């Protein structure tokens, strides 16, 4: 069973290929994803790596948490499940109508 890891503190220049190659030192990397900002197209400075086994994931945390990649110190730990987000108000949503007196 694959184990997903959170990787924080990424340099804006770190690519998914760089991340995958770096983490492959701890074992088989199933996926490596750098989270990108939709508006700017630039990295948000964090990503996720999925290792093929729990043992490899634990080894990756021990090997890479606090280590440097592309000039930045990484934070590596087990990824938590995504929490549901509160609905965001769009356009409209009350008020602002004209008064007819």
DSSP per residue over 17-85, as a string? Answer: HHHHHHHGGGS-EEEEEEEE-TTT--EEEEEEEEESSHHHHHHHHHHHTT-EETTEE-EEEEPPPPPPP
**pTM of the prediction?**
0.79
Average pLDDT, the chain: 89
Domain boundaries, the chain: 3-76
Model confidence pLDDT, tens digit, residues 48-96: 999 999 999 999 999 999 999 999 999 999 998 878 877 766 665 555 5
The CATH class of 3-76 is alpha beta
- Three-class SS of residue 16? helix
Tokens of 77: 């730990």
């Amino acid at each position: 069973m694959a184990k997903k890891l959170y990787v924080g503190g990424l340099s804006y220049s770190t690519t998914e290929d760089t991340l995958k190659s770096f983490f492959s030192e701890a074992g088989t990397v199933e996926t490596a994803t750098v989270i990108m900002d939709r508006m700017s197209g630039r990295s948000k400075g964090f990503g996720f790596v999925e290792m093929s086994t729990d043992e490899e994931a634990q080894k990756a945390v021990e090997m890479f948490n606090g280590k440097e990649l592309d000039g930045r110190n990484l934070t590596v730990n087990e990824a938590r499940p995504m929490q549901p987000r509160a609905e965001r108000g769009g356009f409209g949503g009350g008020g602002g109508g004209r008064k007819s007196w």
